[in-house]
Amino acid sequence: MRNTYRVLLLLLLIAQFQFSFAQIKRTIIGNITDSKTGETLIGASVKLTIGSTAIAMTNSYGFYVISALEGVHDISVSFIGYKTITRQLSLSKDMRLNFVLEPGNQLDEVVISGVKSNDNVGSPQMGLQKINTSEINNLPMLLGERDVMKALQLLPGIKLAGEGNSGFYIRGGSTDQNLILLDEAPVYNASHLLGFFSTFNSDAIKDVTVYKGGMPAQYGGRLSSVLDIRMNDGNRKENTLEGGIGLISSRLKVEVPIVKDKGSFMISARRTYADAFFKLSANPSVNRNTLYFYDLNAKANYKIDDKNTLFLSGYFGRDKLNLVRLFGFDWGNATVTLRWNHLYSSRLFSNTSLIYSKYNYIIHNLIEDSNYEVNSFIRDFNLKQDFEYNISNQHKLKFGLNGIYHTIAPGTMTTTGASSVNPVTYEKRKGLELAGYVTDEWTASEKLKIVYGLRLSSFSLLGPGNFKTYNADGDITQARSYGSGEFVKNYINPEPRFSASYRLNRNSSIKTSYTRNTQNIHLMSNSTSTSPTDLYIMNSNNVKPEIADQVSMGYFRNFKEDQFEFSAEIYYKWMQNQIEYRNGTDLREKDNVEADLLYGDGRAYGIELFLKKRFGKFNGWIGYTFSRTERQFDALNAGRWFYAKQDRTHDISLAGIYKPGLRWTFSTVFVYNTGNAVTYPSGKYQVNGRTVFYYTDKNGYRTPAYHRLDVSATLEGKPGKRFQSSWTFGIYNLYNRQNAFAINFKDDPNDVTKTEVVRTTLFGIIPSATWNFKF
């Protein structure tokens, strides 16, 4: 570890020297925005050519900085899907240049043939997947419900957790090891309707980036991945209204400029009416039942001057299930992000974020003589300060601080009247996560780019409360009471991050990366799928931070003038302090849950291949992943390595979008994956006169392979009108594959001397239709 620091220090020194000996350069800064909406564009590139070439990309606020020697340059600004701007620029002083890009037609080859983006080859970032909303909107979806998370799962290395489940596994990580950020706010439960839809309404989303490895040092807190989702800022040019009516939900989005070109706001709402069918019933015990979810995204931005911009964004979503006089269950997330972009100088960009994030659920037992209500939540107050310091075109320094104050309320149970249930309150847990990071994006030469940095993260478990320590058998060895604000346990972890790319030629490069990630908040789930009631726990006397070290290497190549992009990445990941429940654990043990936990190691490795046709009448991609994910716990499976439930040997996904003319778009998706590792019985016996199944190896079996083909067709209205509408027709699971949602083992109800295996399939062939409009 100490050596790592020394190396970093040395590199920083070298960086400083280079800076001091560099010739005086002029700096250009500015924003790049969409001509129609005024939305800032993330990841657009600015290229200056005078003999040698300098390239800069806009950050997540659409801001760029580039330096060049005085003189006459060719400057070109481009972004995929937009018309490239190319002009000459005479540079004699520092300047601010804002660019407005016009959306291009993907069909129009000429537009694209200017400067084609081959950042995927040039950037040192690995393990990165980006998806844009137009791609999401064109893909066939279950019930026509556009879903970011489901679109992501069509990319290599990102695996769907189960049929109709929005949870996902990245490079062998479990679902809780993904950091899901919506405008920087962590979203703890990203699914609706017990996992059938994600909480992200694609109307409100501008940009989605997934880091499967090589995470930049500004991200931390989860082991496997970062899913960074940015909401639309809102149209700064004109009022717009758009929406859609689908089989299961309707959507509406309003965008209004507050002051033209200065500020705007956006509100986007979605509500499902899965329970509409109930209302058709005449039976009052049926038509008063409810089942629905809604999402509300809102964002406002205001550009005070060239140096200061404010953003306020929020998300509120909830699921509600109510069965009359029986049972009520509702859960949801709320996030609020307040951000302030400030330009200290042309070289120093700052963003300050104040973030609130909460997930809670409430269960109501409405049966009178045993009624109760359970309330549980996890809540964060989060302060983040990020700086970007452009030392030169060679060195871009990013550094910052982050503090998160977590509160977890495992459950408070209240009752009314003559309930046979006693009220209970479980102790809240409080924790403080502090992190600091520094990273340097170093363009060592035209061919070699290196990003190296360090994140130092700490976690403190705070009082008040009673804290117990358990031995390996789960017996209490020590119990102590702590006062408010007292430190119970502290953990500090340095997380080195390194990635490098070496460009072999214009079209191809090799990359490598090493990252360490740690995780201080853990989601405990003993079921084969995630549930809204899964319990969050923090590091403690017993639970240590999870640690993952990942190395990866890759080969990236574009061909046919960037029309095709290809990548091959291999990775190996070591994981420490992984957590599993003891066999037979009672998940209701919320006050003593740590007595039932086991700790062990994990390892994951794989290869991901990806080939994408990026534009043209026909575009799409094919992804293939081979992977292994294993775990080792002394008390499970006799200490032998076993496949983690997310282990899947082969995973193939194929997406194709065909746009023959201006009005029709056809698309198709095919997925195939090896079944998950599961435990099935290898025998049976009788206890108490009932059949009991005998299990041998943990996760020694596989669910049947999963595959499915979906198609959809979208008809746009005649172009050029103020009011635009489109129809989307889709068929999910075209060849009606009976994929297993669950496999149950039980006595044959018709012949008690036999046992049988029953497969439940949730979704056979399902047609859908959606009508979208915009004006």
Binders in 276-335 for other proteins, by CB under 8 A: 277-278, 281, 283, 285-286, 289, 291, 321, 323-327, 329
Rg (alpha carbons) of the chain, rounded to whole number? 27
Which of 51, 417, 584, 719 is close enough to bind other proteins by CB under 8 A?
A: 584
- Minimum distance, C-beta of residue 681 to other proteins, in the bound complex (Å): 6
Is the CB of 94 or the CB of 330 nearer to other proteins? 330
Of the ranges 69-77, 467-475, 647-655, 742-750, which one interacts with other proteins (CB under 8 A)? 742-750
Could you tell me how many residues of this chain bind other proteins (CB under 8 A)? Answer: 90
Token pair recorded at residue 153: 């799962």
Of the ranges 230-238, 566-574, 708-716, 734-742, which one interacts with other proteins (CB under 8 A)? 734-742
- Label the pairing between strands 99-101 and 26-34: parallel
Which of 583, 632, 725, 726 is close enough to bind other proteins by CB under 8 A?
A: 583
Gap between the Cα atoms of 400 and 608, Å rounded: 32
Of the ranges 60-68, 271-279, 478-486, 663-671, which one interacts with other proteins (CB under 8 A)? 271-279
Whole-Å CA distances, 303 to 58, 386, 485, 506, 588: 17, 19, 39, 38, 50
Is the CB of 373 or the CB of 569 nearer to other proteins? 373
**Burial profile 89-127: b = 16 or more Cβ within 10 angstroms, e = fewer:** eebeeeeebebbbeebebeeeebbeebbbbbbbbbbbbb
Is the CB of 20 or the CB of 744 nearer to other proteins? 744
DSSP β-bridge partners for residue 156: none
Q: Under rule CB under 8 A, which residues in 421-480 are in contact with other proteins?
A: 421-422, 424
CB–CB of 255/269 below 8 Å? no
Is the CB of 122 or the CB of 317 nearer to other proteins? 317
Q: Under rule CB under 8 A, which residues in 81-120 are in contact with other proteins?
A: none
413 counts as binding other proteins under rule CB under 8 A: yes
Q: Under rule CB under 8 A, which residues in 633-652 are in contact with other proteins?
A: 645
| Helix, strand or coil, per DSSP, at residue 175 | helix
Q: Under rule CB under 8 A, which residues in 169-228 are in contact with other proteins?
A: 193-194, 196
- Minimum distance, C-beta of residue 270 to other proteins, in the bound complex (Å): 18
Q: Under rule CB under 8 A, which residues in 226-265 are in contact with other proteins?
A: none
- Minimum distance, C-beta of residue 169 to other proteins, in the bound complex (Å): 15
Contact code string over 487-526 relative to other proteins, x by CB under 8 A:
---------------------------------------x
CB–CB of 340/351 below 8 Å? yes
Gap between the Cα atoms of 577 and 600, Å rounded: 5
- Minimum distance, C-beta of residue 434 to other proteins, in the bound complex (Å): 35
Nearest 5 degrees, angle CA 255-CA 311-CA 117? Answer: 80
CB–CB of 429/377 below 8 Å? no
Is the CB of 1 or the CB of 752 nearer to other proteins? 752
Peptide bond just before 464 cis, omega within 30 deg:
yes
Q: Under rule CB under 8 A, which residues in 119-158 are in contact with other proteins?
A: none
Is the CB of 21 or the CB of 694 nearer to other proteins? 694
Q: Under rule CB under 8 A, which residues in 361-400 are in contact with other proteins?
A: 363, 365, 367, 369-370, 372, 374
Gap between the Cα atoms of 494 and 492, Å rounded: 7
Of the ranges 558-566, 581-589, 652-660, 661-669, which one interacts with other proteins (CB under 8 A)? 581-589
Which of 10, 19, 756, 769 is close enough to bind other proteins by CB under 8 A?
A: 756
Which of 747, 771, 773, 774 is close enough to bind other proteins by CB under 8 A?
A: 747
Identify the H or E element spanning 28.
strand 26-34
764 counts as binding other proteins under rule CB under 8 A: yes
- Minimum distance, C-beta of residue 128 to other proteins, in the bound complex (Å): 32
DSSP β-bridge partners for residue 491: 459
Tell me how crowded residue 682 is: count the other CB atoms within 10 A of its CB: 12
- Minimum distance, C-beta of residue 637 to other proteins, in the bound complex (Å): 10
Which of 13, 650, 759, 775 is close enough to bind other proteins by CB under 8 A?
A: 759
Of the ranges 19-27, 60-68, 508-516, 737-745, which one interacts with other proteins (CB under 8 A)? 737-745
- Minimum distance, C-beta of residue 289 to other proteins, in the bound complex (Å): 7
- Label the pairing between strands 26-34 and 95-96: parallel
Of the ranges 106-114, 119-127, 261-269, 527-535, which one interacts with other proteins (CB under 8 A)? 527-535
Of the ranges 105-113, 481-489, 491-499, 578-586, which one interacts with other proteins (CB under 8 A)? 578-586
- Minimum distance, C-beta of residue 164 to other proteins, in the bound complex (Å): 8
Residue identified by tokens 């806009």 is: 58
- Minimum distance, C-beta of residue 399 to other proteins, in the bound complex (Å): 43
- Minimum distance, C-beta of residue 732 to other proteins, in the bound complex (Å): 9
DSSP β-bridge partners for residue 692: 685
Gap between the Cα atoms of 450 and 442, Å rounded: 5
23 counts as binding other proteins under rule CB under 8 A: no
Gap between the Cα atoms of 598 and 595, Å rounded: 9
DSSP β-bridge partners for residue 408: 378, 429
Token pair recorded at residue 40: 């800032």
Gap between the Cα atoms of 443 and 556, Å rounded: 18
Of the ranges 182-190, 388-396, 511-519, 756-764, which one interacts with other proteins (CB under 8 A)? 756-764
What spatial distance separates the first Cα and last Cα of the chain, rounded to whole Å? 58
Token pair recorded at residue 632: 């080792």
Q: Under rule CB under 8 A, which residues in 673-732 are in contact with other proteins?
A: 678-696, 698-701, 704
Read off the amino acid at residue 40.
Answer: T
- Minimum distance, C-beta of residue 584 to other proteins, in the bound complex (Å): 3
Gap between the Cα atoms of 634 and 749, Å rounded: 39
Whole-Å CA distances, 47 to 79, 114, 524, 660: 11, 12, 48, 33
Count of residues in the chain? 775
Which of 447, 506, 640, 754 is close enough to bind other proteins by CB under 8 A?
A: 754
Is the CB of 383 or the CB of 765 nearer to other proteins? 765
Whole-Å CA distances, 337 to 310, 383, 441, 698: 11, 10, 27, 43
Is the CB of 613 or the CB of 702 nearer to other proteins? 702
Token pair recorded at residue 486: 């007292």
CB–CB of 563/614 below 8 Å? yes
